[in-house]
Structure 1
Amino acid sequence: MIKRTLTALLIISQAYLGFSQSSKNINLLSNLTFPSSRGDLNDIWGIKIGLNEYALVGLQGGVSIVDVTNATNPVEVFYAPGANSIWRDLKTWDNHVFITNETSGGLMIIDLNALPGTLTAANVTNYTGSTYPFQSAHNLYIDENGICYVFGADNGVGGAIMLDLSVNPKAPIELGRYNSFYLHDGVVRGDTLWGAAVNDGFFIVVDVSNKTAPVNMASRTTSSSFTHNIWFSDDGQTVYTTDEVSNAFIDAYDVSNLTNITFLDKIQSNPGQNVIPHNAHFMNDYVITSYYRDGVVIHDVSDPSNMIEVGHYDTSPAFSGNGFNGAWGTYPWLPSGNLLVSDIENGLFVLGPNYVRAAYLEGNITNSVTSAALDNVLVEIVTTNITATSNLIGDYKTGIADAGTYDVIYSKFGFFPDTLFNVALTSGITTIRNVQLEPMVNFTLQGQVLENGTNNPIANAQVKIENSQFSTTVTTDVNGNFAVSNFIATTYEVSIAHWGHENICLSNQMLNSTGNPYTYTLNVGYYDDFDFDLGWTTSTLNNPTSGFWERDIPVGTFLQSIPSNPGNDIPTDCGNQAYVTGNGGGGAGSDDIDGGTVILTSPIFDLSSQTDPYVHFSRWFFNAGGSGSPDDSMVVILSNGTTTARIDYADANTPNFSTWVSKSIKISNFLTSTNTMQLIVKATDEGQGHIAEAGFDGFFVIDSAAVSVAENTLKNNINIYPNPFNDVLNITIDYSEFTILKAEIYDITGKLKQTQTVLNQSKLQIKTNYSAGIYFIRIYGDDVLLKTEKVIRF
């Protein structure tokens, strides 16, 4: 028998140098990489034949059969080239492996009966159907009776083609077709099919007892409405799903009564990091999930209403957060207990899992005065990152992989926190702790917003007051007054905005009854970081179907690791929101601009009294993918009520592609300033096939008669940091020949706040005691203006 040994890296592969490996209760046994000519990996399956265990590995160019009997020394024993496809899925029946792909060739079948002897090309056949012909399909599942369900084929709507493999695995017999919904994935037991209708955002339950006439029985929308994968528990009472989008969850549902499918729990591997889950499988009351950039994750689901992570191994430490890299698939059912993982970039991993049971903590939380149930109480297991919150009836459930003794903190805004010390948590055991929290005394917060300089009240100003546990936004009345009842004295962030005035954002503000009423002043001017809705409007032209302007926290998307939709707003403004074209996450083309123009229009602003106004903004544009040259565009237009002018343009050839670009535009170069100015942003998809995304943030106008905003082209590297800053601002310049280095700081009105000079030095440190807000700093070298930059003091 001829064996071809590839590169088996037992501890650390070259791809891992410089990256820390994150793991818990899972050990690396080996890592096998493949020739780059075969492309990236996709799904994986496993099988035992005789005394040997094999990994069945899908690659872009074909299928690899790897002997993993010696888990520390995997050896490839056969490679079957196939249609080139990013997607390939594999399942087994009667010592045959069946493979789908999304390109051509139908169902590849490899007869494995010769193993551990030699396999040849003669062992490989293809099946493309007759009554239900197909060339491509996304996935497949083979039930306990040898019935193969081919999902997402190019036949009908792509539901499920049903084939009998039990008579002759090499000659499937067509039994029927399910054609109600496109199914991306699915599992079947007995006469019940559980299908992931990804495009419809739900899983569907189908009676397939009559293969020629399947009947829909029930459906349930999943938590992120993009149902990619579904798997059932051994007893058939619970199903687990994943949604293949950024920041999605593994969901658990009680399906014991199909007329009342009940949501039980959802969990993430890395909350807040926008990681995408891929495929989840059930084994022995564990769910084992390939979790893209987080690798493989194991959850104890002994209690499916309280899923607890008990193991993980990051196969892809070079990647994190949102994106389609890392672990594609996993196979946990080898008799040895070893875990197989296919990593898209890094190859086959053979892992040794230690399956431990979670130590559970549950209880009920009430008000100590009224005995009423308390919802949304934060429960924290000290020295860990484990948290939970109580539900509407005060119940909470949580747990941890590591048994031991812990302190547990219970906290809710408006109540004094309580800590339980030395709570013993035991593996496989549920510990009950009920808690009562004492309410704090509240008061009515009062305040007023005035115009700086005139002290005139500002009506309809928006005031946001928030901290990690509380957030409210109120609007001032005609006298500029606002009030918040049932207010708790503590530290808050305060942000105030009004069109026609400069926003302010203040950090670490202690608000209590002693300080009532609080007074805030806003400078006259125009500034919008889109943390508030100040009246910008959206519209369309030529009926685009997606990618509409949204004011939101940007959710990043990627096209081949290049950001398409931004993953954040600009870092130098208040808040974290911006306008973006579609913000649904997922793939690069999931919510981009399609088939028309999306338009963003500012409220009217008055510049008639300004001498030499400049308009500032930051814009994002991305245009790529598809066939041919990308031809989409983004245009920024300024209007004075009678005349319009294009002041900025971006397309696929514009420099600083796929990043926030700051622009400063001298208005008089284009038109005359009036009291009816408007800014209009248009982003256009000129035709189908290319991905187009746009973003807009950080709008403000200043008069250069007060503060020069001329752009400087000096190529020396001038660094101003940190920004935002608190008390100290640092300036460094990589140029040693200036005798005098000087910094001037102006407020938003153009008033000089501070000047500081150093001789024969390349670093300048400025200590400030200004109020929080926006400032401009001008850097001079030997009286030559080198740089002007906006900075924010918090």
Structure 2
Amino acid sequence: MKFILSLFIVATATLSFQSDLSGQTLCENGMADIYPCDGYDLYTHFPLSAVGGGDNGNDCWGWVDSDSGREFVLYGRSNGMSVVEVTDPLSPTYIANLPTASSPSLWRDIKVIGNYAYIVSEAGMHGMQILDLTQVLDLSGFPFNISATSHYVGFGHAHNVAVNVETNYAYAVGTNTFSGGLHIVDVSDPLNPVLAGSYEGAYSHDVQPVVYNGLDVDYQGQEIVFCFNGQQGLAILNAEDKTDVQLIKSISYPEGFYTHQGWVSEDHHMLYFNDELDEMYNGNNTRTYMMNIDDLDNPVLVGFYESDNTSIDHNLYTHNGRLYASNYRSGLRVSTILEDGSIEPQGFFDTYPEDDIADFDGTWSNYPYFPSGTIAVSNFDGLFIIKEHEVVDGEESFVVEAPVLSLSPNPASSTVRLSGSFIDSDVVIYDLSGREVLRMNSIPAVNGLHIDISSLKTGSYIVNVLDASSGISKATSKLTIQ
């Protein structure tokens, strides 16, 4: 009874919060509600209490179900991980909570390979939780507590985890093993993860493993790991042989205090990284460092971009020619990557409007890789869902609120009529367990469509309109059959 009651309380709070969401808040005249912005609209803001609670939020990542195109944010918190569906960013849903494997911690990190999420924490004896994400596809109604599918216990705590989706290896770093260096796990069978190798030449705060496809022919096609090693600067490792990881190059740079995290450009021409403490101890404004990696044996620090902002930088990622940086108290900062590898500001959304001082609060991370263009931004105090303004023929055009799907009559008994400006769509009806019970494919125009529902039992159902080509959800509505 206690478990059911706690879920009911969480669900009630979540549903009452979601009922206040009426659509995105446009970025107009440099503001979206109370949030400074440039070029990005606010779709949803979940306070921490609405997505599982705890002392703080931290990392985030994303998952897309390849069959349905449904999009999910995986939001880390001190006491667990929240699964939030954002297929419709105007009406996202907090659907599941994965509790911490041991105790709460400020730090939690998440990555995804295929349909499995890999979760680590600085909490003692936490290990690495492995979660089959397909189990959340059938959840609806209120947030469920879910359990890890498997659990790797080759280490206790870890500061971070990185994955290589091409080779099915997970790299835990900052663990209580191998001097905090690489703890490499073969997750080709997620239900039976095994230690594959290690590197203990230096403590790593964060890493990015890639199959290198840059210009250095000596390393093309090999698994290279870019390591961000705190007070020890950077390192580039060759991890093609997991049992014999080799150092290619160690790098330091002027005015370096704590090399925190970084990401390579999509063409593997440049490495962008940040220093978490230079703003605080050196007094400079927010810096993003740029390194040419065309020659891995002799990488060249090109320089840095220094913004007009004073906040500390944290996690950054590259995608589609842009760099997305979560810079603590100045929010998400987006830059365009120019042809020569340098960057220039493109837009921003400030999730911490109080100030931009060099201190630890505001945004922790972001996930810019959803096919829909939805961007998740994780804060200490909650989760933001944002999107860029649409641009048509070079002119800025605000996003129009998503069309509404209407059902009549509702409740219905034998037929139901759909209304809404949807074209080239599939219409799917699910029961509340998430099971598909009726489907109509390739509907040229949904408005005015009548569906025979006489074969369905009395009860509640979800009607979902999907894009016929991509499978991405356009709109949903609840249907009652009596």
TM class by smaller structure: 0.5 to 0.7
Supply the distance in 2 between the matched residues of 1:299 and 1:282 (Cα, whole angstroms). 9
Q: How does 1:107-256 map to 2 (within 5 A)?
A: 107-118=128-139, 123-125=147-149, 127-129=151-153, 133-143=154-164, 144-166=166-188, 168-190=189-211, 191-200=223-232, 202-222=233-253, 224-225=255-256, 226-245=258-277, 246=279, 247-256=285-294
| Aligned partners of 2:24 and 2:90 also within 8 Å | no
Supply the distance in 2 between the matched residues of 1:181 and 1:288 (Cα, whole angstroms). 27
| Aligned partners of 1:310 and 1:355 also within 8 Å | no
- How far did 1:224 drift? 4.1
Corresponding residue for 2:436?
none
Relative to its length, the structure with more helix (as a share) is 2
Identity fraction in percent: 26
Deviation by residue 1:246-286 (Cα, 9 ceiling, x = unmatched):
24411111010123311223123434x3x100011011121
Does 1:63 pair with 2:114?
no
Q: How does 1:618-657 map to 2 (within 5 A)?
A: none
Q: How does 1:634-783 map to 2 (within 5 A)?
A: none
Supply the distance in 2 between the matched residues of 1:31 and 1:115 (Cα, whole angstroms). 22
1:335/1:222 Cα in 2 relative to 1: closer, same or farther (>3 Å)? Answer: farther
1:18/1:342 Cα in 2 relative to 1: closer, same or farther (>3 Å)? Answer: closer
1:304/1:103 Cα in 2 relative to 1: closer, same or farther (>3 Å)? Answer: farther
Deviation by residue 1:614-644 (Cα, 9 ceiling, x = unmatched):
xxxxxxxxxxxxxxxxxxxxxxxxxxxxxxx
Deviation by residue 1:97-121 (Cα, 9 ceiling, x = unmatched):
1111001311112211123213965
Corresponding residue for 1:80?
98
Supply the distance in 1 between the matched residues of 2:59 and 2:362 (Cα, whole angstroms). 12
- How far did 1:212 drift? 1.1
Corresponding residue for 1:99?
119
- How far did 1:158 drift? 0.5
Supply the distance in 2 between the matched residues of 1:164 and 1:232 (Cα, whole angstroms). 23
- Counterpart AA for 1:55: V
Q: What SS is found at the alignment partner of 1:84?
A: coil
Corresponding residue for 1:537?
none
- How far did 1:222 drift? 4.0
Corresponding residue for 2:64?
48
Supply the distance in 2 between the matched residues of 1:18 and 1:253 (Cα, whole angstroms). 35
- Counterpart AA for 1:124: A
- How far did 1:136 drift? 0.4
- How far did 1:178 drift? 1.1
Supply the distance in 1 between the matched residues of 2:355 and 2:59 (Cα, whole angstroms). 19
Root mean square deviation of aligned Cα: 2.7
| Aligned partners of 1:228 and 1:242 also within 8 Å | yes
| Aligned partners of 2:317 and 2:323 also within 8 Å | yes
Q: What SS is found at the alignment partner of 2:64?
A: strand
1:126/1:153 Cα in 2 relative to 1: closer, same or farther (>3 Å)? Answer: farther
Deviation by residue 1:341-379 (Cα, 9 ceiling, x = unmatched):
00112x1111102498xx9xxxxxxxxxxxxxxxxxxxx
Q: What SS is found at the alignment partner of 2:356?
A: coil
Corresponding residue for 2:456?
none
Q: What SS is found at the alignment partner of 2:97?
A: strand
1:244/1:19 Cα in 2 relative to 1: closer, same or farther (>3 Å)? Answer: farther
Corresponding residue for 1:278?
314
1:180/1:165 Cα in 2 relative to 1: closer, same or farther (>3 Å)? Answer: same
1:111/1:22 Cα in 2 relative to 1: closer, same or farther (>3 Å)? Answer: same
Supply the distance in 2 between the matched residues of 1:268 and 1:325 (Cα, whole angstroms). 20
| Aligned partners of 2:37 and 2:347 also within 8 Å | yes
Spell out structure 1 runs of 4+ moving beyond 6 A. none
| Aligned partners of 1:222 and 1:243 also within 8 Å | no
In structure 1, which of residues 18, 25, 29 is the aligned counterpart of residue 43 of structure 2?
29
Supply the distance in 1 between the matched residues of 2:89 and 2:255 (Cα, whole angstroms). 37
Corresponding residue for 1:505?
none
Corresponding residue for 1:439?
none
Supply the distance in 1 between the matched residues of 2:182 and 2:390 (Cα, whole angstroms). 34
Corresponding residue for 2:414?
none
- How far did 1:304 drift? 4.7
Q: Give 5+ residue unaligned stretches, structure 2.
A: 1-6, 26-30, 212-222, 280-284, 397-482
- How far did 1:23 drift? 0.6
Greater Rg over alpha carbons, structure: 1
- How far did 1:34 drift? 2.8
- How far did 1:175 drift? 0.5
Q: What SS is found at the alignment partner of 1:322?
A: coil
Deviation by residue 1:265-314 (Cα, 9 ceiling, x = unmatched):
3123434x3x1000110111211000100000001112355310011000
Deviation by residue 1:558-593 (Cα, 9 ceiling, x = unmatched):
xxxxxxxxxxxxxxxxxxxxxxxxxxxxxxxxxxxx
Corresponding residue for 2:380?
344
Tell which deviates more after alignment, 63-72 or 168-177: 168-177
Q: What SS is found at the alignment partner of 2:180?
A: coil
Q: How does 1:238-387 map to 2 (within 5 A)?
A: 238-245=270-277, 246=279, 247-271=285-309, 273=310, 275-345=311-381, 347-354=382-389
Supply the distance in 1 between the matched residues of 2:113 and 2:227 (Cα, whole angstroms). 20
Supply the distance in 2 between the matched residues of 1:195 and 1:37 (Cα, whole angstroms). 32
Deviation by residue 1:185-237 (Cα, 9 ceiling, x = unmatched):
0111121010101121x211001111111100012224542110011111111
| Aligned partners of 2:234 and 2:259 also within 8 Å | yes
Supply the distance in 2 between the matched residues of 1:270 and 1:254 (Cα, whole angstroms). 24
Structure with the bigger RCO (C-alpha within 8 Å, sep 6+) is 2
